[in-house]
A and B are shown apart, each in its own frame.
Chain A
Amino acid sequence: MTIDFDHFTPLMSLVGGIMIGAAALILMACSGRVMGISGILSGLTQKHQNRSEIPWRLAFVVGTILGPFLVMMVTGQGIEIRPSAHGPLLMLGGLIVGLGTAIGSGCTSGHGICGLARFSTRSLAAVMMFMATAIITVALIRHVL
Chain B
Amino acid sequence: MIIIAVVSGVIFGAGLAISGMLDPSKVSGFLDLFGVWDPSLAFVMGGGVIVNGIGFLLIKNRAKPLFATDFKLPTSKVIDKPLLIGSALFGIGWGISGLCPGPAVASAFLNPADGIGFMVFMMAGLVLGRVIKRRMA
Residues of A within 8 A of B (CB): 1-4, 7-10, 12-35, 37-38, 41-42, 45-46, 55-57, 59-72, 79-86, 89-109, 111-122, 125-127, 129-139, 141-143
Contacts and interface: CB of A to CB of B under 8 A. Distances in A.
A122 B60 CA distance: 18
Interface string B95-137: 1111111101111111100100111111111111110110010
B55 A21 contact: yes
A131 B91 CA distance: 6
A101 B129 contact: yes
Interface in B40-54: 40-53
Given A14-B44, A34-B72, A133-B89, 17 more contacts: A14-B47, A17-B44, A17-B51, A20-B15, A24-B52, A28-B56, A31-B65, A45-B127, A46-B130, A67-B9, A80-B23, A93-B94, A97-B97, A97-B100, A122-B78, A135-B33, A136-B95
5 residue pairs, one from A and one from B, having the closest CB atoms = A98-B125, A67-B13, A63-B9, A16-B19, A104-B86
20 contacts: A13-B47, A15-B18, A17-B46, A23-B15, A28-B59, A42-B127, A65-B9, A66-B9, A67-B9, A67-B12, A82-B25, A89-B96, A94-B97, A95-B122, A102-B125, A103-B129, A117-B56, A130-B94, A135-B95, A139-B33
A81 B70 CA distance: 38
A30 B107 contact: no
Contacts, number: 515
B44 to A, nearest CB: 4
A27 B56 CA distance: 11
Nearest to A125: B79
Contacts of B32: 135, 138-139, 142
